[in-house]
Structure 1
Amino acid sequence: MLKEWKLKEIVLMSIFGVVFAFIYLGFYFFGQGLRNILTPFGLAPFGYEVIFGIWFIVSIIAAYVIRKKGAAFWSELIAGIVQVLIGSPAGPQLIISAAIQGLGAEAAFAATKWKNYSLTVLVAAGMSAAVFSYAWGWFQSGLAALTPGLIIATLLVRIVSGALLAGVLGKWISDQLAATGVLRGYALGKERQKKRVRKAS
Structure 2
Amino acid sequence: MSTTNTPATSAGSTSSTSPTSTPPRRGSIRASGQLWGWRTVDLLTVSFLGAAFGVAYWAWGLAYTAPAAGLEALFPPLQGITGAPWLMAGVVGGLVIRRPGSALLCEVVAALVSMLPGTKWGFTTLVSGILQGLGAEIAFLLLGYAAFGLGAALLAGALSAPLEALYEWQTWWTDWDLGYKLAYAGILTVAGAIIAGGLGWLLTRGLARAGALGAFPAGQEARESHAV
2:194 is aligned with 1:164: yes
Deviation at 1:138, TM superposition (A): 1.8
Matching residue of 1:176:
206
1:95 aligns with 2:100: no
Further displaced range: 131-140 or 160-169 = 131-140
2:150 and 2:201 in contact (8 A); partners too: yes
Deviations 1:41-63 (A, max 9, x none): 3634433x112221111111111
Deviates more, 1:180-189 or 1:73-82: 180-189
Give the corresponding residue for 1:63. Answer: 94
TM-score, length-normalised on structure 2? 0.79
1:60 and 1:166 in contact (8 A); partners too: yes
**Aligned residue runs from structure 1 range 12-161, under 5 A:** 12-39=45-72, 41=73, 43-47=75-79, 49-141=80-172, 143-161=173-191
Q: Quick check: which has more Rg, 1 or 2?
A: 2
What's the CA shift for 1:144? Answer: 4.3
**What is the DSSP-based 3-state SS (H/G/I as helix, E as strand, rest coil) of the residue aligned with 1:114?**
coil
- Inter-partner Cα distance in structure 1 for 2:160 and 2:102: 14
Contact 2:107–2:129 under 8 Å retained in 1: yes
Tell me the distance in 1 between the aligned counterparts of 2:223 and 2:112. Answer: 34
Does 1:4 pair with 2:34? no
Q: Alignment partner of 1:5: what SS?
A: coil
Provide the rounded CA distance (Å) in 1 between the counterparts of 2:134 and 2:119.
21
Instruction: Please identify, of 82-91 and 64-73, the stretch whose mean Cα deviation from structure 2 is larger.
Output: 82-91
CA distance in 2, matches of 1:172, 1:38: 26
Shift of 1:35: 3.0
Letter matched to residue 98 of structure 1: G
**Identity rate, percent:** 25
TM-score normalised per structure 1: 0.89
1:146 positional shift: 1.0
Give the Cα–Cα distance (whole angstroms) in 1 for the partners of residues 183 and 63 of structure 2.
Answer: 21
2-structure distance, mates of 1:194, 1:85: 40
User: What amino acid is aligned across from residue 55 of structure 1 in structure 2?
Assistant: W
Provide the secondary structure at the position in 1 that maps to 2:145. coil
- The amino acid across from 2:83 in the alignment is F
Give the aligned CA root-mean-square deviation in angstroms: 2.0
More helix by share: 1
| Kept in 2: contact 1:35–1:45 (CA 8 A) | no
Which runs of 5 or more residues in structure 1 are unaligned?
none
Structure 2, unpaired ranges of 5+: 1-34
Distance 1:161 1:38, change over 3 A: closer
Q: After the TM superposition, which of the residue ranges 88-97 and 188-197 deviates more from structure 2? A: 188-197
Distance across 2 between alignment mates of 1:101 and 1:38: 22
Q: What is the number of equivalent residue pairs in this alignment? A: 195
